[in-house]
A and B are shown apart, each in its own frame.
Chain A
Amino acid sequence: MSAIPVIAAHEVSKAYATGGVDMTVLQPTSLTIDPAEQVVIVGPSGSGKSTLLTILGTLETPSTGRVLVQGREVTALREWERSAVRAQSIGFVFQQFHLMPTLTAVGNVATGLLYSGVSHSERNRRAVAALESVGLGHRLGHRPKMMSGGEQQRVAIARALIRKPAVLFADEPTGALDSATGEMVIDLLAQVADRGTAVVIVTHDHAIAAKFDRRIQILDGHATQEVGHHG
């Protein structure tokens, strides 16, 4: 494939100094994620999944190594430039949804474009379209409290997708949902990838991981990549 990878990580590692001792929570890891690729990062709790995800997603700087987003080395950028890269190319979905309780679904999704220089009315217009694309056209004016967990997570996905990112990172997106709803959210994320956005999902649930061809296994900070088959 000649296209530039969406994410390219070269020998990234992360160590924390805890109690005067350097604790390496992620051993040097290299990987690339191509456009529209679906990747799952799987491993037990505390193994370093979120650490790897935040480094690939530019939320965290690695202790060593380099990360390139669409060919641009973000580890060499200034903070405002990294913020611009996030606003332009990267979407996030979190386990706890993290919607603003006082905003409606439209307001929450529109926040996804707040830092991208898009006008208020245009943000709202695109938010409606994004909500419709995740099947929430009937929940536009609802506040998070009035929605089920699955609906809230779909609002969060719409918020991540509204600016058409090159890659979407989801950290345990089903962690706060029952398994049926979780499965629906995973299916939705898979559809997202089919529409051209690469998707990276972190989970400790092997049943979910088994749905994806490309899996990155983490154990105690050691990442191993495998290409499997649908289970």
Chain B
Amino acid sequence: MEFEERADQLSPEEISTSLADGEILKKARQKLLATGAKLLIGPRGTGKTHLMRYTYSQSLLNKSAPLVLYSSFNRYLHLEPLLKKTPDALKRFHSWVLARILLSAFDYINDLSSSGDFLKDIDPIFDESKLRELVSLLERGSGVDLYESYGQYVTVDHAIKAVRSLTARFNRNRAVLLLDDAALSLSDQYLVAFFEIFRVLKVEGIAPKASVYPGTTQYGPTFHASHEVEEVPLWLSVEDPAYSTIMGDIANRRLTSDQQKVISPDILELFKYTAFGIPRVFLRLLREFFSERAGTSQSKVNKIIDQQVEFIGAEYDSIALKLKQFSSVIQIGRSFFSNAVVEISELQNKDLSKRNIVLGILQSGDRTPLADRMIRFLIEVGMLFPLQSVSHGQNRKYDRYIPHLAFLYQGGAFKEGKRNTFRGLPQLMSAVAAKHPLRREFKSLLSYRELADLKLDLPPCQKCGTQRFNDSQQFCHNCGEPLVGSSLFEECMKLPLSEVPGISEALIWRIHQDTKIRSVSDVVISQNASSELQKANYVGPRRAENIIKKVELTVEEFLS
């Protein structure tokens, strides 16, 4: 069986029926519809997109709800090469963001099978086909002419005007803008530019809501998250009293009744907790369970959890490939996390009558911004769940985190005797919590060597090979040459086809033999990749489409 774990791939019907209930989700849904700017916060896979798309389709037909528009900014990195190539990259990004918001107005009209002509009568800038062309050209790194003649004149006022006209036209009191995938976590410059727009979109009758990752606290000099917007957490804590119920609801909505009979309640319970509050991981665990050979043995379940641990770890490690300057930070973060898991597992396993899964890190002046960034990466991918910090006396404030339960499970935290059992973890989650977390200083979780290595990995000057001072340096102090950074997008485009998962070696060999296609970029940029691919033996339209899809998926994964 297959079920889709990515909300952006679900049909509107599936979106409507598959959203779980539960206090945290109800509250988040209310906040999305409420007035005022909000940030919807959760790591990848917590259901931000699902919730937004659900909110959108529910309010589409409900006349008493506000007008809700949905737009996604997950393709922002396609504009990243501009930052290296053109002085007005930020302006083009600006008009890309606004064009996407304006298009969400047209999407709304189209979804209601209405006509958008009235918008064009208000202002000729509201031109759906031009906007679509502009967006698609900008994402392909071109469109200079259209931007010059049209795109640059699209302003925030236009967006506001369009939203207001739509609100009036469809008899709604006010409007909500759902801005999905706004974490823009791989490009600080665009992040700042985005939240400048976000801030001015907040006017009477319009409430912008953006989905972001946890851990980010800086949204640029003009935007202060803490007092300008309300933060809406979506990441369900494993310590939430309703945790098991909410996760169970997700399973009920996605599993067939046959499947629900096959899986034992104990295993389901174990999966709920090892998913660590992230529905996408939960669904992945379930999918693995049902696609593996029959059987409910402990070793099969352990294998599935091991796989997920590896998968999450690989996702974390991949940040180092994307943000090369942070590769040491990522590597040391991994070892920091492993040490924490070992220590907590040991402590927890000594006494299984109390729950003892919280790590407390002493707040101290010697923690560098880079150390904070290191912890943020772990939070962003969902390996550390942040809790409120607590005070244990003067100058003894502790930041508290729960490490991912699947890692603790694998680390033996919940073993009864020498073996992991289905029930160990769920039972412990209903036990009382220990009074104090495992208290550590930041530096005690790392070796002396690792602490010293916690630095940015900046490429040396491309001309004379001198090391850089820091990441803000733009000219070599030895030879004076402008220092050139690498573009993440271009790195991705350079990937050879052999790096794309799911294409057999034999197929790649034939493509090499018969076509000019070598790298990811050849597929993505080509006007007609399909017909070029079909020049290879045994590649017809279906197989060509299949290859293109796989390449696109790789690009999306790489750039998200």
| Chains A and B belong together in one complex | no
Residues of B within 8 A of A (CB): none
